[in-house]
């Protein structure tokens, strides 16, 4: 039983009681080719008929979606990072004649093309990182584990899905998710998140986001094959000197047993709003129950102590 | 490209994955820049200097693809000795008429060719000077104003015969040497001075470009149509053409210049134009000064070399498709039914006419000029002065509601009760509610089937115009007035179908395709005759209904064919996917290289072979030399790949057909923060101006308007917004209008990220939230910086989210070839929201006063340098 | 160890979601459940010792606490009409599922016991029900700590060892306090003793919790949640001292009882709010995870000895949170 | 209710009997989940179309059920787009089913302050009358220099780039026969 709560688990679908099942399906999101077009966000909403999530200009670069939630199942993050700070040396007003600030000392060296995934631009280089985030469909999914109704469940494709006909909106899945993916939709009361287009999978179709993605940043397929693809892509980028490339959620030994939807990132996970080392909370369920039991026993003890010497 | 055409960009990403180097040249750092190898920030409007610098780099280092350039281009052609360059005249070519503000191209001709032909040519504007047949000099002005250059959309303008050549390219008056001298001062240092691009970055681009061109490799240029939005827009694109031609990147796979156009059928609406200056297939609209009969209309082309030599057949076939049996040889095929131009009847001039009460009825068909056109105020003032306005759209757009919620209502410049315009809002059918074809940006026609009936009163334009025509004809049926003959004789009887009795689009497409004497659909424009036996609604589309099959409806999956995919849709002309593809083979007909093999001469079969349809005469061998005096297609030699040009060559130098000079020259935008570093002439001398009090121009290098602004699109929205900011899924992605500035500019003006700012030009002031971002680059030009204010232009007063429209800031100054406005201007930007009501008017008035702009004489503030 | 909060984030946005559980519904449920569960223990003790007054009162408290708690719990649901779905499955991985299978029998048994007590009918069955309620009572008190601990909320999850004890103590305080409030001093010595013992357990457990959590203890010490926790601790401690001394006065006894109740409720609100605060700040998610990663990398480099030791220490926890210790 | 049905209904019993002891997979699948199918498979028809936004010309498939568009997605067969769509193209379903779409003729009389209703047929007739009137009023046989022009400058039109070729063809044909020349579209803007 322990192995099905954390650590490596090769047949997560079988573990969920499916004797004869298709291969586990998932996403590999290669952010190095993401152009931030947000087609995934819209295609997802159109297919799944997810309501809009408010009209707010956030000032977070071109990200006005902000985060995954009950009404946002794909979220494209935009991170602007100057590789060479250009602000200070741009001859700000009051620093002598225009253009003669500290800039005179010479132009910063533009990063060589390709290196560090930074684009040389004018007198500096800029990274504008874009990444389409989605539910990770964890091997060990906390949302699923803690769901008291069985609404959240592991499908025959190894994905994690909310059954809207079951969910009673208890909200337990919300704080359980180490990625902050799932949420309750206020006006509806129930929890919602990416289903990996469960209905489409039933007919062998590609999920809406992956089908729309113009640059194949979002790749859909069998998880084992996607992992190989991700490894190959990582090696390719490393060969090209893009040392910042790393895989996220690909490792079956990680805190959630690897993600069904994993990523190739070009910076630290937290830069994109992802936890650097997520762990499924139910990894500790044994310890938790142990302590709960001990505490309950303590309470019994307190009871006994309270009545000590008062026997009728 | 990633920004405005993400799906098209998949091919760029695929190329990148295969090792291609992606270079992005843009004032701002966009989604394209993010995945490019190199982003080159450039001052808006300075593209010719940059591209000219590259041309200079190629020429001064002998990096051109000489084996391609000599046989396939006019590099060897020798030019008239009277020609003087901008280098000689400090920013002018020879032949400039200062009074009228345009060129007489006579001195630009090939050496020894006749002076421009007398009259009737397809290209009246360019090659008719005061020496032409016009009764007086006044004619040439309005001839110049009829945007005739655009009729070269399917081929070059006609020149007389073939020029003398110096194959060694050494003759001082040969095009190659002229080009070299013309661009000699476009050095990397000058590029920095003009564009703000550092020499080392310039060299990176130059090296990447030249190393990636030649026999084994090709380079492609892609532009979104922001390139056309300049008073030198046509010449910007020409500079790219010159560069690509010098490098041998035209007519070859992986080469070319790709215009990424912004509307589903904007290419189609140029081919089968809803444009004032042309008829279907780029036939010019007749001009009153020259084209009073068919003979004079086609005279300029008839008998010429190349495919335009058959222009009479194209014109007669069109007249037959318009007026059918009524069009006979005896009545000049009803040529007289065609209305004539007398000058500039383009949209901005029309709007001026509306303001001045000369034009009273207006149809807006899927177009929202109150937001989408430059100088929105002029658009609204025009619409407020109509008798009637018909607006056809999916959603309630600003151009239909200006009378109650336009910005001028708020300022008091317009009063609802005083606006006499009668407005009909007619709901339109969407793309799934009608069957029809779009022509996409690579000239491909793709047919859409109808999915559902349109809701309520919504109707297709096909049905609207068909029924409108029927009603008008019915109401006029008893008229004996000659003016009504063209309407009454019109072939206007299409089969209808479905519960709404819609006209059958297939039947219309078949009419466009054309039919022969037997009534059967034609299969190629080479079948068209000038005797009235054939009819064809658009000669370049002939073949789209070949074999009575709607070829545009072909949908053979790409995995069932090779990469040319010639069985998907139909591409004009003749289903040809790459134009000029004869140039994909060397002069002797063999591929330039195995890697770049595309079309080649198969001597055994005595035909051109390859996956595409050859853009040539299929059985004409590479060694063919035409007979002396041959005309039309017969005059095309075996090594003349550019068959729509009368001389069969790509034009590095345009002896004809470009209004503002045979070679591109850098001029500053009409509003600029700097003096033109290259010439004393500040602006394009032949740019089209629109003098009107509502169109005042900021003085250049004014301290009152120190910043450059440029408008653009965002991935999440579509043009004037009617199809995007009405949809929650798109609106939530970019929910509010905003502008973008660099940190340096924000510091200079005290702007705080996320706060409101006001942007001011002499036209008006608008407000938006500001994003302070490193993506906006401060550009260093010599010893100064130039800052840009970036403005996505999708918003207006209607929709799910609303805001001021950036196009209200844009002035109307136009390219002299195609009359497209210059989107670049100067502005001021200040923290805080703009004044409301009448206070806005006085706020802007104060700016104008300080900058010395006189609205009574809007040209006053203009700097000519 | 309080690590330096130098970390990267996505525009300062939180990583995990803030729990959607409503205030006061859920903290009140935690409080009421705790009070009810411990009251059932008290009731059974009273029954065994023949303290009729105490038995009657605590049975009523247990029943009404469970009933009211259930109302709050159902009210917190997004789809209250579907509350029965809680019993659709039984999942050991879900404290809420397990809790439902505790709460449901507890509430039924406690109600039955109380009903029997009040009406005097079916006394044997009522007594049997009372025994049952006493069996389900302690887990009802402490499972709610698992409910919070088994989440990704840093201040809850990392406190999963101590929280059950905090809740056990707090529940005992509440049950004892309630009985002290309702019953004359003469009848309530067991209640008073339960409250005092509970206070001791709660205070010790809370202190251990804060010490072990390091940076993650901040939400228990700072801000609104910190103020709640501090006040709760002070009141509990004071009430414990006073009730130990002033055991004869009805007024003092009742006052102390009320104080225990207030403090117990404040503890639940404090713990609840601390969790929300730790969810809202990405620091509490990123920094400990970063340290964990760093330690793991260092551990990998330094060999497996350290890992081994950790295993011994944490038993079922196969990978230990070395960073947090 | 039979025992078997009860077992089917109460997942706890399925948990106990089946392989999914922890109740996280097969045991807790609801009947809705079991019978779920994509709505595209139940469409009455699938129609080939082309994206109406920019000029890349991406292929679309339009799914229709009960004469309503239920889904529009990329057509994988297209050699241009290979089934992909950008955010705008992906919003096509919302575009055509938008509740804010105008589906009734709206009329604003001269100097009016509000929209009024107008019957489609009446509107068409009124427009035809206005075309005839304005055309006549602004008819011009020759310009002020005596050159034959045979036209009217009274009527102008803007638009076409979003329309079909066939529509542009009819527009240009009718306008030309009317003698209207100020015909323009987005290609100039």
- List, for residues C142-189, the tens digit of each pLDDT value: 999 999 999 999 999 999 999 999 999 999 999 999 999 999 888 889
Under DSSP, is residue B264 helix (H, G, I), strand (E, B) or coil? coil
Residues C145-170 as b/e (b if ≥16 CB within 10 A, e otherwise) read: bbbbbbbbbbbbbbbbbbbbbbbbbb
Count of A-C CB contacts under 8 Å: 293
Which residues from chain C sit within 8 angstroms of residue A148, using beta carbons? 85-86, 89, 91, 94, 96-97, 99-100
pLDDT interval class at B132 (50, 70, 90): very low
Model pLDDT, residue A118: 83
Under DSSP, is residue C4 helix (H, G, I), strand (E, B) or coil? coil
Of C86, C141, C160, Cβ closest to residue A149: C86
- Chain-centroid distance of CA C66 in Å reads 14
pLDDT interval class at D9 (50, 70, 90): confident
The domain segmentation of chain D, as residue ranges, is: 3-35, 39-97, 138-188
Which residues from chain A sit within 8 angstroms of residue B2, using beta carbons? 35-37
B32 and A123: CB-CB below 8 Å? no
Give yes or no for C292 touching A (CB within 8 A).
yes
Model pLDDT, residue B299: 84
Please check whether residue B163 is in contact with residue B833, taking contact to mean a CB–CB distance below 8 angstroms.
no
Give the Cα separation of B578 and B614 in Å (integer). Answer: 8
Domain with CATH 2.40.40.20 in chain B: 688-851
Say what the alpha-carbon torsion angle B641, B646, B651, B653 is, to the nearest 10 degrees: 160
Under CATH, what is the fold of the domain B263-308+322-440+443-502?
Rossmann fold (3.40.50)
C19 and A291: CB-CB below 8 Å? no
Of A193, A187, A140, C88, nearest to D31 (Cα)? C88
Computed over every residue of chain B, the mean pLDDT equals 93
- pLDDT at C2 > cutoff 50: no
Model pLDDT, residue B141: 58
Please check whether residue C37 is in contact with residue C136, taking contact to mean a CB–CB distance below 8 angstroms.
yes
Give the Cα separation of B720 and D189 in Å (integer). Answer: 11
Average pLDDT on B306-313 reads: 84
Question: Is the ipTM reported for this complex over the cut 0.85?
Answer: yes
Q: Percent of chain C at pLDDT above 70?
A: 90
Average pLDDT on C23-45 reads: 96
Model pLDDT, residue A93: 35
B41 and A122: CB-CB below 8 Å? yes
Bridge partners of B788, per DSSP, are B708
Physical contact, B and C (3 or more Cβ pairs within 8 A): no
How many CB atoms are located within 10 Å of the residue A290 CB?
Answer: 17
Average pLDDT on A181-200 reads: 98
To test the contact with chain D by mutation, choose from C82, C86, C88 the residue with the greatest count of D C-beta atoms within 10 A, namely: C88
Give yes or no for A168 touching C (CB within 8 A).
yes
Tell me how many domains chain A contains. Answer: 1
CA distance B130 to chain D (A): 17
Touching subunits of C (3+ CB pairs, under 8 Å) are A, D
What residue of D is the nearest CA neighbor of A154? D25
C92 and D22: CB-CB below 8 Å? yes
Q: Token pair for residue D36?
A: 């779920």
Of D103, D131, D137, Cβ closest to residue B456: D103
Which residues from chain A sit within 8 angstroms of residue C147, using beta carbons? 172
Give yes or no for B558 touching D (CB within 8 A).
yes
Of B774, C301, C293, B17, nearest to A268 (Cα)? C293
Backbone phi, psi, residue B194, to 5°: -95, -45
Domain with CATH 3.40.50.740 in chain B: 263-308+322-440+443-502
C17 and A182: CB-CB below 8 Å? yes
Give the Cα separation of C265 and C119 in Å (integer). Answer: 31
Touching subunits of D (3+ CB pairs, under 8 Å) are A, B, C
pLDDT (tens digit per residue) in D122-155: 999 999 999 999 999 999 999 999 999 999 999 9
Please check whether residue B788 is in contact with residue B28, taking contact to mean a CB–CB distance below 8 angstroms.
yes
pLDDT interval class at B766 (50, 70, 90): very high
Of B832, B841, B767, nearest to B806 (Cα)? B767
- pLDDT at A113 > cutoff 70: no
Give the Cα separation of B612 and C278 in Å (integer). Answer: 64
Q: Percent of chain A at pLDDT above 90?
A: 82
Identify the weakest region by mean pLDDT among A14-18, B381-385, B470-474, C313-317. C313-317
pLDDT interval class at D6 (50, 70, 90): low
User: In terms of pLDDT, which residue wins out, B260 or B134?
Assistant: B260
Domain of residue A56, residue span? 5-9+12-100+108-286
Computed over every residue of chain D, the mean pLDDT equals 95
Looking only at the bridges linking them, the beta strands covering B422-427 and B388-393 are: parallel
Q: How far is CA A99 from CA A49, A124, B778, in A?
A: 53, 15, 10
pLDDT (tens digit per residue) in A96-110: 333 323 333 333 333
The domain segmentation of chain C, as residue ranges, is: 25-281
Model pLDDT, residue B119: 32
pLDDT interval class at B25 (50, 70, 90): very high
- pLDDT at A86 > cutoff 70: no
How many CB atoms are located within 10 Å of the residue D129 CB?
Answer: 14
CA distance D35 to chain C (A): 20
Please check whether residue D146 is in contact with residue B418, taking contact to mean a CB–CB distance below 8 angstroms.
no
D62 and B432: CB-CB below 8 Å? yes
pLDDT (tens digit per residue) in C260-312: 999 999 999 999 999 999 999 999 999 999 999 999 988 876 654 444 444 33
Model pLDDT, residue B145: 72
Q: Token pair for residue D46?
A: 């699938």
Model pLDDT, residue B411: 97
A199 and D39: CB-CB below 8 Å? yes
Which residues from chain B sit within 8 angstroms of residue D139, using beta carbons? 483
Average pLDDT on C69-79 reads: 96
| 3.40.50.300, 3.30.420.40, 3.40.50.261, 1.20.1630.10: CATH of C25-281 | 1.20.1630.10
Average pLDDT on C180-200 reads: 93
Average pLDDT on C86-106 reads: 96
Of A150, A181, A287, Cβ closest to residue C161: A287
Average pLDDT on B663-690 reads: 96
To test the contact with chain B by mutation, choose from D125, D159, D178, D181 the residue with the greatest count of B C-beta atoms within 10 A, namely: D159
pLDDT interval class at C1 (50, 70, 90): very low
Give yes or no for B445 touching D (CB within 8 A).
yes
A301 occurs within a structural domain: no
Under DSSP, is residue A169 helix (H, G, I), strand (E, B) or coil? coil
Q: Specify the DSSP class assigned to residue C187.
A: G
Give the Cα separation of B407 and B855 in Å (integer). Answer: 19
In which element (H, E) is residue C74 found? helix C52-76
Q: Specify the DSSP class assigned to residue C316.
A: T
What residue of B is the nearest CA neighbor of D66? B452
Model pLDDT, residue A107: 34
CA distance D4 to chain B (A): 46
Give yes or no for C106 touching A (CB within 8 A).
no
Model pLDDT, residue B135: 35
- pLDDT at A282 > cutoff 50: yes
- The residues in D 57-86 lying below 8 A from A, measured between CB atoms, are 71-74, 76, 83-86
- The residues in B 361-400 lying below 8 A from D, measured between CB atoms, are 361-367, 369, 372-374, 387-388, 390, 392-396, 400
pLDDT (tens digit per residue) in B508-534: 999 999 999 999 999 999 999 999 999
CA distance D90 to chain A (A): 5
Give yes or no for A48 touching B (CB within 8 A).
no
pLDDT interval class at C6 (50, 70, 90): confident
To test the contact with chain A by mutation, choose from B34, B41, B207 the residue with the greatest count of A C-beta atoms within 10 A, namely: B34
Q: What is the CA angle B187-B192-B195, rounded to 5?
A: 110
Domain of residue A53, CATH code: 3.30.70.20
Residue ranges of E strands in B232-331: 257-260, 278-279, 283-284
- The residues in A 50-79 lying below 8 A from B, measured between CB atoms, are 51-57, 59, 61-62, 64-65
Which residues from chain D sit within 8 angstroms of residue C91, using beta carbons? 22-24
Model pLDDT, residue A3: 55
Residue ranges of E strands in A135-286: 152-154, 160-162, 183-184, 191-192, 218-222, 246-248, 261-265
Maximum Cα interatomic distance, chain B, rounded to a whole number of Å? 80
Give yes or no for C21 touching A (CB within 8 A).
yes
Model pLDDT, residue C5: 52
pLDDT (tens digit per residue) in B178-204: 999 999 999 999 999 999 999 999 999
Model pLDDT, residue C246: 74
Under CATH, what is the fold of the domain D39-97?
N-terminal domain of TfIIb (2.20.25)
CA distance B77 to chain A (A): 39
Which residues from chain B sit within 8 angstroms of residue D95, using beta carbons? 394, 430, 723, 727
What residue of A is the nearest CA neighbor of D29? A153
- pLDDT at C321 > cutoff 50: no
Q: Percent of chain C at pLDDT above 90?
A: 85
Give yes or no for C118 touching A (CB within 8 A).
no
Model pLDDT, residue B225: 85
Give the Cα separation of C229 and C162 in Å (integer). Answer: 15
Which residues from chain D sit within 8 angstroms of residue A211, using beta carbons? 73-74, 76, 83-84
- The residues in A 233-262 lying below 8 A from B, measured between CB atoms, are none
Model pLDDT, residue B130: 33
pLDDT interval class at A89 (50, 70, 90): very low
Please check whether residue B279 is in contact with residue B335, taking contact to mean a CB–CB distance below 8 angstroms.
no
pLDDT (tens digit per residue) in B215-262: 999 999 999 888 999 999 999 999 999 999 999 999 999 999 999 999
Q: Dump the DSSP string for B679-720.
A: -S--B-TT-EE---TTS--PPTT-SSS-EEEEEE--TT--TT
Of C87, C89, C93, Cβ closest to residue D15: C89
Q: How far is CA B365 from CA A120, B118, B342, B362, D130, in A?
A: 43, 39, 25, 10, 17
Model pLDDT, residue A109: 38
A270 and C286: CB-CB below 8 Å? yes
Identify the weakest region by mean pLDDT among A138-152, B388-402, C245-259. C245-259
| 2.60.40.1730, 2.40.40.20, 1.10.357.10, 3.40.50.720: CATH of B688-851 | 2.40.40.20
D24 and C93: CB-CB below 8 Å? yes
Measured distance between the N- and C-terminal CA atoms of chain B, rounded to whole angstroms? 35
Physical contact, D and A (3 or more Cβ pairs within 8 A): yes
Q: Percent of chain B at pLDDT above 90?
A: 88
D27 and C89: CB-CB below 8 Å? yes
Computed over every residue of chain C, the mean pLDDT equals 90
């Amino acid at each position: 039983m322990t192995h099905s709560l954390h650590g490596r688990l090769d047949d997560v679908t079988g573990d969920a009681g499916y004797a004869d099942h298709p291969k586990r399906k998932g996403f590999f999101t290669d952010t190095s080719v993401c152009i931030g077009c947000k087609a995934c966000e819209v295609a997802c909403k159109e297919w799944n008929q997810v309501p809009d999530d408010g009209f707010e200009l956030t000032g977070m670069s071109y990200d006005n979606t902000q985060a995954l939630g009950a009404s946002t199942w794909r979220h494209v993050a935009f991170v602007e990072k100057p590789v060479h700070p250009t602000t200070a040396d741009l001859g700000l007003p009051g620093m002598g004649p225009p253009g003669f600030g500290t800039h005179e000392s010479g132009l910063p060296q533009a990063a060589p093309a390709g290196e560090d995934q930074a684009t040389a631009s004018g007198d500096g280089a800029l990274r504008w990182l874009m990444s389409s985030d989605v539910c990770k469909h964890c091997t060990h999914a906390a949302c699923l584990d803690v769901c008291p109704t069985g609404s959240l469940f592991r499908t025959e494709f190894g994905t994690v899905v909310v059954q809207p006909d079951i969910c009673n909106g208890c909200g337990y899945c919300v704080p359980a998710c180490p990625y902050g993916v799932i949420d309750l939709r206020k006006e509806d009361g129930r929890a919602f998140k990416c289903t990996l287009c469960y209905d489409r999978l039933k007919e062998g179709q590609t999920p809406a986001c992956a089908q729309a993605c113009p640059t194949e940043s979002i790749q859909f397929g069998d998880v084992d094959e996607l992992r190989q693809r991700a490894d190959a892509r990582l090696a390719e980028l490393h060969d090209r000197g893009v040392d910042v490339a790393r895989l996220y959620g690909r490792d079956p030994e990680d805190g959630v047993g690897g993600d069904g939807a994993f990523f190739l990132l070009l910076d630290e996970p937290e830069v994109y709003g992802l936890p650097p080392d997520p762990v499924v909370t139910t990894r500790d369920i044994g310890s938790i129950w142990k302590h709960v039991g001990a505490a309950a026993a303590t309470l019994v003890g307190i009871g006994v102590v309270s009545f000590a010497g008062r026997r009728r | 490209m990633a920004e405005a055409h993400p799906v098209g960009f998949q091919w760029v990403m695929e190329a990148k994955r295969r090792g291609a180097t992606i270079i992005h040249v843009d004032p701002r750092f966009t989604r394209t820049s993010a995945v490019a190898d190199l982003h080159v920030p450039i001052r808006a409007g300075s593209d010719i200097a940059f591209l000219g610098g590259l041309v200079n780099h190629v020429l001064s280092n002998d990096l051109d693809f000489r084996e391609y350039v000599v046989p396939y281009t006019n590099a060897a052609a020798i030019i008239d000795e009277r020609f003087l360059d901008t280098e000689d005249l400090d920013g002018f070519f020879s032949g400039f008429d200062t009074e009228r503000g345009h060129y007489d191209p006579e001195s630009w001709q090939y050496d020894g060719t006749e002076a421009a032909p007398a009259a009737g040519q397809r290209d009246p504007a360019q090659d008719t000077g005061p020496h032409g047949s016009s009764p007086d000099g006044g004619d040439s002005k309005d001839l110049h104003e009829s945007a005739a250059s655009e009729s070269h959309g399917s081929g070059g303008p006609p020149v007389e015969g073939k020029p003398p050549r110096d194959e060694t390219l050494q003759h001082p008056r040969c095009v190659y040497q002229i080009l070299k001298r013309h661009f000699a001062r476009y050095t990397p240092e000058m590029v920095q001075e003009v564009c703000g691009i550092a020499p080392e970055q310039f060299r990176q681009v130059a090296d990447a470009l030249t190393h990636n061109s030649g026999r084994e490799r090709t380079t492609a240029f892609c532009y979104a149509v922001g390139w056309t939005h300049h008073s030198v827009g046509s010449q910007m694109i020409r500079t790219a053409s010159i560069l690509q031609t010098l490098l041998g990147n035209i007519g070859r796979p992986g080469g070319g210049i790709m215009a990424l156009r912004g509307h589903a059928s904007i290419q189609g609406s140029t081919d089968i134009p809803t444009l004032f200056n042309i008829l279907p297939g780029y036939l010019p609209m007749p001009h009153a000064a020259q084209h009073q009969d068919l003979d004079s209309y086609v005279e300029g082309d008839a008998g010429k070399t190349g495919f335009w030599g058959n222009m009479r057949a194209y014109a007669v076939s069109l007249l037959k498709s318009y007026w059918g049996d009524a069009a006979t040889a005896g009545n000049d095929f009803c040529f007289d039914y065609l209305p004539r131009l007398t000058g500039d009847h383009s949209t901005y001039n029309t709007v001026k006419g509306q303001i001045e009460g000369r034009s009273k009825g207006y149809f807006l068909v899927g177009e929202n000029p109150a937001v989408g056109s430059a100088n929105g105020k002029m658009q609204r003032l025009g619409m407020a002065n109509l008798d009637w306005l018909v607006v056809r759209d999916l959603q309630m757009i600003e151009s239909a509601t200006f009378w109650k919620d336009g910005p001028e209502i708020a300022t008091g410049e317009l009063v609802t009760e005083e606006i006499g315009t009668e407005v009909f809002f007619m709901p339109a059918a969407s793309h799934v509610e009608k069957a029809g074809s779009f022509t996409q940006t690579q000239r491909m026609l793709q047919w859409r089937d109808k999915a559902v009936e349109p809701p309520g009163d919504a109707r297709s334009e096909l049905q609207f115009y068909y029924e409108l025509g029927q009603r008008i004809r019915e109401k006029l049926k008893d008229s004996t007035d000659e003016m009504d003959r063209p309407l009454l004789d019109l072939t206007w009887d299409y089969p209808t179908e479905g519960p709404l009795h819609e006209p059958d689009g297939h039947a219309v497409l078949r009419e466009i395709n054309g039919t022969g004497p037997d009534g059967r659909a034609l299969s190629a424009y080479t079948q068209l005759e000038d005797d009235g036996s054939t009819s064809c609604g658009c000669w370049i589309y002939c073949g789209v209904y070949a074999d009575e099959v709607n070829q545009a409806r072909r949908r053979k999956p790409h995995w069932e064919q090779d990469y040319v995919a010639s069985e998907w849709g139909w591409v004009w002309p003749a289903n040809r996917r790459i134009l000029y593809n004869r140039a994909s083979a060397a002069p002797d007909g063999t591929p330039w290289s195995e890697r770049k093999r595309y079309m080649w001469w198969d001597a055994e079969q005595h035909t051109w072979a390859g996956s595409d349809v050859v853009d040539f005469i299929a059985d004409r061998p590479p060694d063919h030399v035409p007979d002396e005096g041959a005309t039309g297609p017969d005059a095309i030699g075996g090594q003349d790949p550019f068959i729509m040009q009368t001389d069969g060559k790509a034009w590095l130098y345009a002896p004809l057909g470009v209004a503002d000079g045979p070679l591109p020259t850098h001029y500053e935008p009409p509003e600029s923060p700097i003096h033109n570093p290259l010439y004393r002439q500040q602006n394009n001398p032949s740019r089209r101006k629109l003098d009107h009090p509502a169109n005042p121009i900021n003085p250049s290098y004014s301290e009152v308007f120190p910043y450059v602004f440029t408008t653009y699109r965002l991935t999440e929205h579509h043009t004037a917004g009617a199809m995007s900011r009405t949809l929650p899924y798109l609106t939530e992605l970019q929910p509010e209008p905003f502008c973008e500035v660099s940190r340096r500019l924000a510091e200079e003006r005290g702007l705080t990220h996320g706060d409101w700012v006001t942007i001011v030009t002499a036209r008006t002031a608008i407000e938006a939230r500001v994003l302070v971002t490193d993506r906006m680059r401060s550009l260093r030009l010599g010893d100064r910086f130039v800052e840009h204010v970036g403005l996505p232009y999708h918003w207006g007063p209607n929709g799910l989210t609303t805001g001021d429209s950036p196009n209200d800031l844009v002035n109307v100054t136009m390219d002299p070839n195609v009359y497209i406005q210059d989107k670049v201007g100067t502005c001021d930007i200040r923290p805080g929201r703009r004044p409301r009501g009448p206070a806005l008017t006085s706020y802007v008035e104060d700016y104008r006063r300080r900058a010395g702009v006189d609205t009574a004489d809007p040209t006053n503030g203009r700097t000519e340098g | 160890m309080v690590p330096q909060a130098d970390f990267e984030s996505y525009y300062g946005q939180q990583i995990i979601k803030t729990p959607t559980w409503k205030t006061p519904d859920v903290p009140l449920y935690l409080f009421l459940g705790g009070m009810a569960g411990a009251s059932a223990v008290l009731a059974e003790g009273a029954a065994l010792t023949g303290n009729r007054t105490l038995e009657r009162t605590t049975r009523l408290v247990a029943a009404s606490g469970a009933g009211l708690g259930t109302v709050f719990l159902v009210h917190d649901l997004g789809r209250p009409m579907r509350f029965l779905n809680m019993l659709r499955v039984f999942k050991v991985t879900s404290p809420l599922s397990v809790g439902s299978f505790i709460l449901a029998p507890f509430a039924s048994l406690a109600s039955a016991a109380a009903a029997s007590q009040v009406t005097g009918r079916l006394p044997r069955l009522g007594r049997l029900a009372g025994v049952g309620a006493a069996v389900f009572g302690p887990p009802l008190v402490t499972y709610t700590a698992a409910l919070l601990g088994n989440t990704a909320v840093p201040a809850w999850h990392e406190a999963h060892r101590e929280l059950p004890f905090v809740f056990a103590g707090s529940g005992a305080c509440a049950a004892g306090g309630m009985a002290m409030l309702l019953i004359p001093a003469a009848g309530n010595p067991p209640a008073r003793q339960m409250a005092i013992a509970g206070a001791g357990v709660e205070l010790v457990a809370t202190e251990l919790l804060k010490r072990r959590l390091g940076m993650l203890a901040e939400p228990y010490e700072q801000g609104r949640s910190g103020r709640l926790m501090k006040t709760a601790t002070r009141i509990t401690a004071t009430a414990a001292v006073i009730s130990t001394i002033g055991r004869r006065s009805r007024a003092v006894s009742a006052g102390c009882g009320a104080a225990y109740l207030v403090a117990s409720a404040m503890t639940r609100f404090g713990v609840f709010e601390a969790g929300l605060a730790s969810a809202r700040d990405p620091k509490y998610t990123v920094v400990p995870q970063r340290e964990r990663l760093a330690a793991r990398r260092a551990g990998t480099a330094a060999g497996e000895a350290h890992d081994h030791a950790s295993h011994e220490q944490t038993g079922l926890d196969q990978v230990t949170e070395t960073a947090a210790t | 209710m039979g025992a078997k049905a009860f077992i089917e209904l109460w997942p706890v019993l399925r948990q106990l009997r089946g392989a999914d002891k922890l109740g996280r997979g097969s045991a807790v699948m609801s009947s809705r989940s079991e019978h779920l199918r994509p709505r595209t498979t139940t469409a009455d028809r699938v129609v080939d179309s082309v994206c109406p936004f920019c000029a890349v010309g991406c292929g679309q498939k339009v799914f229709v059920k009960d004469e309503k568009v239920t889904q529009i997605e990329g057509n994988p067969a297209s050699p241009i787009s290979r089934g992909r769509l950008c955010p705008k193209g992906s919003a096509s379903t919302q575009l055509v089913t938008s509740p804010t779409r105008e589906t009734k003729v709206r009329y604003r009389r001269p100097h009016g302050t509000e929209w009024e209703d107008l019957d489609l047929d009446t509107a068409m007739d009124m427009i035809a009358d206005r075309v005839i009137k304005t055309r006549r009023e602004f008819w011009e046989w020759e310009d002020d220099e005596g050159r034959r022009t045979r036209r009217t400058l009274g009527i102008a039109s803007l638009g076409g780039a979003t329309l079909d070729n066939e529509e542009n063809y009819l527009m240009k044909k009718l306008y030309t026969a009317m003698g209207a020349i100020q015909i323009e579209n987005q290609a100039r803007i």
